[in-house]
């Protein structure tokens, strides 16, 4: 991986920046090299805060969800004391996974291999053949389930960090916390993950999906069929929509986090009406908007209701707050293959009619069988395949908008550059 590189940052870096030319280049071997992924597992997934799940996924004592995070098998388990905790999904005896279901409810979990049993606080409470161990063998939590070094939640978004020296979660989130607030404030009674999960994979590097998730530049080209479909559907756009002036743009939020935010041309269940939703939908949207305004003030209510935002939480959490509200996370398996998980987030107590439109969009646009995701998967896999054209064609260009640093537009690439600068720092190229 020690390839000779140039940089405009000073020292030796993986990326190449030329401020005079307004040019930002990323080496394509960063998407294909096993040594890069090995180092990413250590320097990025081993040190950054990683999203595990939403507290609403485990509403009752004993509820659990199991998932892979940062290359580890984890599960989120709400204790009988009401506290959500995260454990490595492995028995402290011989290592078998103790939580074999993706979700469920249990006061105890028993390892299927030798029967060691753990309670919701992770305590090892029972084992067959206890006489074979010294009396104090299990004392002081010596064989309890083990948690990641750090577990914290922000507005019900639960994260872990495997680095005991990591900064606290709020410090890590930096400017991204403001955008999580915009999501969490949408529901008067709070937010909840709805039942069901989209799980899929693609033959592409994980960083391609991160870039793609807030790439406004590709939308008109790659998703042309979707926009044709929308134009042919009566009432899907708001009545005053001006396609030439959606406003907004992208910006860095610090620590590699970024956002692209723009005025929504279509309906938002919170709380922008479009003719497609009819008069009953108009009345409900008016009620939601009035509640938002009373609770949060007119200005904040307008921002929540009328603006789309794709929020990038470094390194692998994307929140697409568009028509529906999708939490998407992904895990690299090999340099050219990743796994994706997505769930729908919604206000608690939402009117059934608005919930139906939200879920329709969750499947219609970002679902793996929807309009957008199959387009994106094809584009990302085409990129991954074409990276075989190295070393003759060795660099990706992520320069768009560098010539207007104070006025980023929706199709500029500042949000991707923010990711790559942080990636470059963590990969230690300048050390």
81 cis-preceded (ω within 30 degrees of 0): no
- Largest Cα separation within the chain, whole Å, is 76
Say whether pLDDT at 394 is over 70. Answer: yes
* pLDDT top residue among 405 and 26: 26
Kindly state the DSSP code that residue 57 receives in the 8-state scheme. G
Please give the Cα distance from 99 to 64 (Å, whole number).
9
Q: With a cut of 70, say whether residue 203 has pLDDT above it.
A: yes
Across residues 393-409, what is the average pLDDT? 89
CA distances from 320 to 130, 258, 261 (A): 51, 12, 10
- As its CATH architecture, domain 50-165 has 3-layer Sandwich (2.102)
Residue 292: pLDDT band by 50, 70, 90 thresholds? very high
Strands (DSSP E) along 240-369, which ranges? 249-254, 257-263, 307-313, 317-321, 325-334, 337-347
Show the tokens assigned to 100: 């074999």
**pLDDT tens across 297-310, in order?**
999 999 999 999 99
- pLDDT confidence of residue 125: 95
Instruction: Check residue 4 and give its pLDDT.
Output: 43
pLDDT in tens, 307-352: 999 999 999 999 999 989 999 999 999 999 999 999 999 999 999 9
Q: Is residue 357 within 8 Å of 277, Cβ to Cβ?
A: yes
Per-residue confidence band for 236, with pLDDT thresholds at 50, 70 and 90: confident
Tell how many helices (H) and how many strands (E) occur in the chain: 11, 21
CB-based contact 273:286 (threshold 8 Å):
yes
Peptide bond into 271 cis (omega under 30): yes
Which sign does the torsion angle of CA 128, 129, 130, 134 carry? negative
Q: With contact defined as beta carbons under 8 Å apart, do 236 and 267 qualify?
A: yes
| Predicted pLDDT at 185 | 97
Contact 84, 153 (CB under 8 A): yes
Task: Work out the mean pLDDT of the chain and round it to a whole number.
Answer: 92
Q: How far, in Å, CA of 331 to CA of 339, rounded?
A: 5
Q: Is the pLDDT assigned to residue 197 strictly greater than 80?
A: yes
Q: Quote the pLDDT of residue 2.
A: 46
What is residue 270's three-state secondary structure? coil
pLDDT of 85 over the 70 cut = yes
- Read off the DSSP letter of residue 194: P
Per the confidence metrics, is the pTM higher than 0.85?
Answer: yes
pLDDT at 119: 98
Say if CB 130 and CB 123 are below 8 A apart.
no
Q: Which CATH number among 3.60.15.10, 2.30.30.110, 3.10.560.10, 3.90.380.10 corresponds to the domain 174-428?
A: 3.90.380.10
At residue 7, the pLDDT reads 47
**Where do the structural domains in the chain lie, given as residue ranges?**
50-165, 174-428
406 vs 144, residue with greater confidence: 144
E-assigned strand segments in 132-242 = 150-154, 157-161, 191-193, 198-202
Q: Which residue has the tokens 């090995």?
A: 38
For residues 328 and 59, give the distance between their C-alpha atoms in angstroms, rounded to a whole number.
Answer: 20
Q: Where are the beta strands (DSSP E) in 55-149?
A: 63-69, 72-78, 84-88, 103-105, 108-110, 117-119, 124-126
Q: Copy the structure tokens of residue 157.
A: 């978004």
Strands in 369-423 per DSSP E: 395-397
């Amino acid at each position: 991986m020690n390839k000779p590189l140039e940089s405009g940052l000073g020292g030796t870096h993986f990326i190449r920046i030329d401020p005079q030319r307004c040019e930002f280049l990323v080496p394509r071997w960063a998407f294909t090299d096993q040594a890069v992924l090995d180092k990413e597992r250590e320097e990025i997934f081993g040190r950054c805060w990683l999203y595990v799940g939403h507290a609403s996924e485990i509403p009752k004592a004993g509820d659990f969800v199991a998932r892979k995070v940062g290359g580890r098998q984890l599960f989120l388990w709400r204790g009988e004391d009401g506290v959500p905790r995260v454990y490595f999904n492995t028995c402290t005896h011989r290592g078998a996974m103790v939580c074999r279901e993706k979700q469920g409810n249990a006061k105890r979990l028993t390892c299927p291999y030798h029967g060691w049993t753990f309670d919701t606080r992770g305590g090892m409470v029972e084992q067959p053949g206890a006489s074979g161990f010294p009396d104090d063998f299990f004392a002081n939590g010596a064989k309890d389930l083990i948690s990641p070094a750090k577990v914290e939640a922000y507005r019900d978004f639960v994260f872990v960090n495997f680095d005991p020296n990591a900064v606290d979660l709020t410090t890590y989130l930096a400017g991204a916390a403001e955008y999580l607030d915009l999501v969490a404030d949408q529901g008067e009674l709070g937010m909840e993950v709805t039942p069901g999960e989209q799980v899929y994979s693609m033959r592409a590097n994980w960083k391609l999906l991160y870039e793609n998730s807030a790439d406004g530049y590709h939308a008109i080209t790659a998703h042309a069929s979707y926009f044709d479909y929308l134009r042919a559907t009566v009432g899907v756009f708001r009545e005053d929509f001006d396609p030439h002036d959606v406003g907004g743009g992208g910006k860095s939020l610090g620590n590699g986090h970024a956002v692209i935010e723009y005025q929504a041309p279509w309906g938002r269940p919170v709380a922008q009406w479009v003719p497609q939703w009819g008069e009953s939908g108009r009345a409900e949207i008016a009620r939601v908007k009035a509640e938002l305004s009373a609770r949060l003030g007119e200005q904040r209510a307008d921002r929540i209701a009328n603006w789309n935002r794709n929020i990038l939480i470094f390194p692998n959490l994307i929140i697409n707050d568009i028509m529906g509200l999708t939490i998407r996370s992904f895990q690299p398996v090999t340099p050219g293959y990743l796994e994706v998980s997505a769930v729908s987030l919604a206000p608690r107590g939402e009117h059934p009619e608005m919930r139906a439109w939200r879920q329709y969009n969750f499947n219609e646009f970002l679902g793996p069988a929807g309009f957008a995701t199959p387009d994106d998967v094809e584009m990302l896999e085409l990129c991954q395949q074409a990276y075989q054209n190295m070393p003759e064609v060795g660099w990706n260009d992520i320069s768009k908008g560098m010539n207007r640093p104070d006025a980023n537009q929706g199709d500029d690439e500042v949000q991707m550059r923010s990711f790559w600068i942080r990636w470059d720092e963590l990969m230690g190229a300048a050390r």
